[in-house]
Copies of this chain bind each other. A is one copy, B any other.
Amino acid sequence: METNVQTRHIHGILVLIAMLSPAVRADEGMWLYTAPPRQQLKERYGFEPTAEWLDHLRLSSVRFNSGGSGSFVSSRGLVLTNHHVGADALQKLSDAEHDLLATGYYAKSAAEEKPCVDLELNVLVNIRDVTERVNAVVTPDQSTAAAQEARRGIINTIEKEEFDKTNLRSDVITLYHGGEYHLYQFKKYTDVRLVFAPEQDIAFFGGDPDNFEYPRYDLDICFFRVYENGQPAQIEHYLDWSEAGAGDDELIFVSGHPGTTNRLNTVAHLEYFRDIQFPERMNTIRRREVMLQTYSQRSLENNRRAKDELFGYQNSRKARLGGLAGLQDPALMAEDELRAAVAADAELKSKYGSAWDDVAHTLKTSADIRLELNLIEGAGAFHTTLFDIAHTLVRMAAEDAKPNPERLNEFTAAGRESLEQELYSAAPIYSDLETVKLADSLSQLMEQLGAEHPLVKSILAGQSPRARAAALVAGTTLADVDQRRSVAAGGQQAILESQDPMIQLAVLIDPRARELRKIFEQQVEEPQRQAYAKIAAAQFKVLGTSTYPDATFTLRLAFGTVKGYEQDAQQILPWTTMGGAYSHAEAHGSVPPFELPQRWLQRRDQIDGSTPYNFVSTADIIGGNSGSPVVNRKGEFVGIIFDGNLESLVLDFAYTDDVARAVSVHSSAITEALRKLYDASDLADELGR
């Protein structure tokens, strides 16, 4: 097998990193739009995308800041994403009487389109390489602390300059672990309205048991519409709709926002994941899953309140379980071939050879501070939105008093609108749920840092975790958005004088939280960035530059073919059908989460059971790609990514196409369902127009 060393590859359970050839294998890659995989597409598929083709697909792609992807599918601002990407917005539009997750929703007219509480969508309109300007402020003799501060300063400055010039959201993105810096500018939509969602029972049919499995039968879709000046936005770039959808072995493209991959990571770094980070994180995830499950089961209303957050933890748990299984497979932990290649060449060795040990050194620091960092700066000890609000207010007051280049990145001028969108969200906050969450996380704080830790003692103030949590949630007024605005308006003075116990808690922990963040940024993040920049440079030297960077929740282009696979000696077809959903329900006794919605049962005879429903492809995706459009050579919408199978979770660390598959909803199932099950022909008719 030929391979690119940057990216590990798995073939079956064997890693065959062999020839140090620059050719990227098969359908691998989460490519930058500025460096698309022209060679691979031409050689494998005889396809040569034009600049227009690429621009059109990029500008039709949408990022959901809540953590997912989507696309424009009509000229009137219609956006299609996954139900599970929209679920957070649906939850916030629901109350005890109107549970949009349970019932679904269809706005038959513009007047019925429901404004979302705090959703922000981004479209990537400009990209510029600013590597030289960023690197110019960092000199080789600088300490890592000085380098980190200088880099933060120039990044904050570029972002502000560009924002002031264009009024576009302007983010400097670190690519190739610091090998390059690109300025990404986004058109931002904050007036986003709900148009259509099916019942969660069918969107997430099979629930947690079927999550990351295949075959699947999920209508995991949700439509929003973006507005400007109170009117549906006029959109130039939107996707044509393919009624036929993709066929067997057809070449398809995925345009979306993969969150994070770790393919360049050194073996020591992966071992750190395997031995420390993943097991600890999974303990926290399972703890929260069980805590929320217990809360949920106490009543139907509890269940509604905690549903979306519970899903998030279940999803993370299953994803990480797959990732950890990959890390625990000795086959993945082959020695670094690139490191060997560098060590064998005197010039490369003197320039880049130290990078691997540098990474290892940062991992020691990381291990030393990790618990406190997660609990205090990461707020793992304060698992409640109310604390997040308090801490944001406390920090905003302090950061606003500083010059822009010196601020923490999330408080710079360029990002203020997005910050306020979240801070002043009117999303409901349930004090009983917040108390349960906070009590459990304070208990975890006591377990992990110890009851005698001075900061722990100050935080608990002589009370048990339960009693302290109850007092904090009962005592704060920050559930009220007006209170937040009034504290913010008062600046540092208002913070210092505040009698709000949650603000006082945030004030109490902030000094230590900042120290921890500084240690992390200067002794872990920055030296890691420098070391990986060297490793990336070494890779460019050894393999050439035609490659893609690790994922960073920014727009990427992937490609692949529609293709089944073999599992337990059985051939899994690439397709399921809508009719198959009924058999799947029956095989599981038709009890939740395998219960079809009433309308599916009542109208069973009205749909064409042979309509393709979900399908798998070899495209290289990871978490964050949820909701990504799948398009054909003509750029037509043929499906929407909503999951990967369990075997795909190892894509975090290495690409494989033996059994790893991306899972999509087929375009023809979407229109079939809209027309025949949901009486939403108007919506179906609007697609691609």
Contact = CB atoms under 8 A, between A and B. Distances in A.
B324 A443 contact: yes
A328 B271 contact: no
Contacts of A299: 587-588
B443 A275 contact: no
B208 A451 contact: no
Please give the count of copies of this chain that the complex contains.
2
Nearest to A463: B330
A408 to B, nearest CB: 32
Contacts of A208: 294, 297
Interface in A249-288: 271, 274-275, 279, 282-283, 286-287
Contacts of A330: 462-464
Interface string A445-475: 0111011000000000011111100000000
Interface string A200-232: 000000011100000000000000000000000
Contacts of A329: 464, 467
A117 B286 CA distance: 34
Contacts of A446: 328
Q: Choose among A464, A466, A589 the residue with the greatest number of B CB atoms under 10 Å from its CB.
A: A464
B588 A328 contact: no
A402 to B, nearest CB: 39
Contact of A286 (B286, B463, B588): B286
Given A209-B298, A286-B290, A451 B274 contact: yes
B325 A275 contact: no
A593 B447 CA distance: 32
Interface string A375-402: 0000000000000000000000000000
Interface in A418-467: 443, 446-448, 450-451, 462-467
Given A283-B286, A294-B318, A328-B446, 18 more contacts: A13-B464, A208-B294, A271-B451, A275-B450, A283-B287, A286-B286, A286-B289, A289-B290, A299-B587, A300-B589, A324-B443, A325-B443, A328-B443, A328-B451, A328-B464, A329-B467, A330-B463, A333-B451
- Sorted nearest first, the 8 A-B pairs with minimum C-beta distance are A209-B297, A329-B464, A279-B447, A286-B286, A300-B589, A283-B283, A209-B298, A286-B290
